[in-house]
Amino acid sequence: MSRRLPAATMAKPKVPKDYRQAHLHCRTFGHTWHLGEGSPDGNGFYRFVLLCEVCKARRIDTVNRRTGAILPGSRRYEYQPGYQAKGEGIVRRTVYRVEFIKRITNEEGN
């Protein structure tokens, strides 16, 4: 059922050679969130700050204290420099995974 894409669109953006291992880890497996400081945020809301213990990203959510719903548009991520590779297009998770395996098996790539 998978639709084949034309060859031209198959050129995949690569993971930069100097991409940090911590960033690669989170791109591959997702973030490992721990609760950071939080605080009441206005009337009826609470602001959660989550910290990734691996790459030190922050996730900030404003939650309705009564319903538990996240205030629409409030979720925000703050990344360490270098996490978002610039001008490379969207690198797919599979590409990060391949790079992760290359690194842990000590292949140099080329």
Binding site for Zn ion (CB under 5 A): 26, 31, 52, 54-55, 57
Closest CA to 60 of 79, 44, 46, 77: 77
* 70 vs 60: CA distance, rounded Å: 10
C-alpha distances (whole Å) from 62 to each of 42, 80, 91, 92, 94 are 10, 21, 29, 29, 31
- If the CB atoms of residues 30 and 44 are measured against Zn ion, the closer one turns out to be 30
Query: Which CB sits closer to Zn ion, 69 or 104?
Result: 104
Please report how close the Cβ of residue 51 comes to Zn ion at its closest, in angstroms.
9
Task: State in angstroms the smallest separation of the CB of 34 from Zn ion.
Answer: 10
**Minimum distance of Zn ion from residue 55's CB (angstroms):** 3
Q: C-beta of 26: minimal distance to Zn ion in Å? A: 3
From CA 83, how far away is CA 19, in angstroms rounded?
A: 8
Q: Between 24 and 63, whose beta carbon lies closer to Zn ion?
A: 24
C-beta closer to Zn ion: residue 34 or 86: 34
CA-to-CA distance for 19 and 36, rounded, in angstroms?
Answer: 26
